[in-house]
Structure 1
Amino acid sequence: MENKPYKNKCRNRIRELRIARGHNSLRGFAEFINTHLGYEVSASALSQLELHRRENPYWELVDVLSTYFGVTADYLMGKTDYNVRKEEVIKDREDKVTKSPEEELLMQQFYDKMREMYAEKEKAKEERRALKEDN
């Protein structure tokens, strides 16, 4: 079987994330998943996933774990180092874009001034064009 460089990352990531959440034993983590996450899994299946011993992992379990840990499935399986879900990036951007009422007012005043300047510029162009046509 071909050696895939992401296998070692997978081993470390799942174990590190599991322990970071306070689940030191695979058996205890399996019980937690069964009870609280609604997915039936054995400690043996978790071990196989952690050690990347299955060529075709249980994708439902990968989805459950990635959701629980708040990472992408690709990150969990070691295929990427980018560990933030797209929805979180979008929410983070929305949070950063939120403006106070004062900022909203300033932005509106800015846009109004820009529209006014543009209208004046267009009016001046039209006047120059009319003068050229008259000459």
Structure 2
Amino acid sequence: MNAGLLIIRLIVGLLFAGHGAQKLFGWFGGYGVKGTAGWLESIGIKPGVPMVILAGLAELVGGLLFATGLWIEFAAALIIITMLVAIFKVHGSNGLWVTANGYEYNLVLIAIALGVALIGAGDYSLQAVLVK
């Protein structure tokens, strides 16, 4: 079970952190703060720059904490809140399936984050090392 949790945490957490790096730094093909702020404002999320910084930090910090298994409940909360905003502001009106830009992927991430938070980070986590 612990190896499985580690794999889930690493893949989901690092990819989620990557989304934050796209927003904050323009890495991995992202648009950076200015580009993402313009898009956020175009869909009604204002002011764009502070909202990008908040979203980017939530994704970066939440993803890194999730991957390392440190403060897993807080990390999961950051992921869940970010995905709920994505559903309500971007994907929800498109229906469930991702093929129509729906919220399927966001819902999967919410389920994973909630499931790991309820189970715990596992023995292969910083939280386990620091608690011992």
TM-score w.r.t. the length of structure 2 is 0.36
Question: Over alpha carbons, which structure has the higher Rg?
Answer: 1
> Which TM-score applies when normalising by structure 1?
0.36
Higher helix residue share: 2
